[in-house]
Amino acid sequence: MVFGRSDRRGSFVEPVALKLLVAGGFGVGKTTLVGAVSEIRPLRTEETLSEAGRPVDDIDGVEAKTTTTVAMDFGRITLREDLVLYLFGTPGQDRFWFLWDELAQGALGAVVLADTRRLEDCFAAVDYFERRGIPFTVAVNCFEGADRHPTDTVRDALDLDPHVPVVLCDARDRESAKEVLITVVENAAKVAAEHSRVATT
């Protein structure tokens, strides 16, 4: 068993709880993804976009957006009886990035959501997790009307290392978002195993 623990009779499984971050630029779909997969009512800290924020909130490409996360989103999903994921969605705007260090403590891995119409918006998140050594997966949220690009093209545009997974998803769809989270967990486990192997050689 990779995760969890059974008693001697094999009837009880103690679930392992893992913390994942959902990050990315402003308006990329972080709140949507957390809400799509959470088995509990997600905690949201959204505020209405105001006129005062217009000079600093770039809504090009997401003109219909009326609210923004100012602290975090929180949700939970049970992948298996022995594996529970706690999801923390980060705020997207620069002025709330001081919260990221708190949210990142104890995180096993992260999703970096990307919008190919505003790909540069996820550069900061990619850089953040690379510098801190937190395994991450890039998930391209396929918005309606946006051009579809091969994952290798996205990888090159973001200058990602070969071991970083890049997947396509629909953040509104539960199964699609769930597949993203499974990829994050598998990648984080692979990175951890590699680090362990290096440490023992």
Position 67 scores a pLDDT of 52
pLDDT in tens, 101-115: 999 999 999 999 999
Position 179 scores a pLDDT of 98
Q: Where are the domains of the chain?
A: 5-199
Position 54 scores a pLDDT of 46
The DSSP-derived string for 65-115 is --EEEEEEEEEEEEEETTEEEEEEEPP-SGGGGGGHHHHHTT--EEEEEE-
The DSSP-derived string for 111-147 is EEEE-GGGGGGGHHHHHHHHHHT--EEEEEE--TTSP
pLDDT in tens, 139-151: 999 998 888 899 9
Give the orientation angle of helix 174-199 with respect to helix 30-37, to 10 degrees: 100
**pTM score, two decimals?**
0.80
- 17 three-state secondary structure: strand
CATH of 5-199, one of 3.30.930.10, 3.40.50.300, 3.10.129.10, 3.30.420.40: 3.40.50.300
Q: Which residue positions in the chain have pLDDT lower than 70?
A: 1-12, 44-71, 92-97
Neighbours of 150 (CB within 10 A): 10
Residue with tokens 């050594």: 133
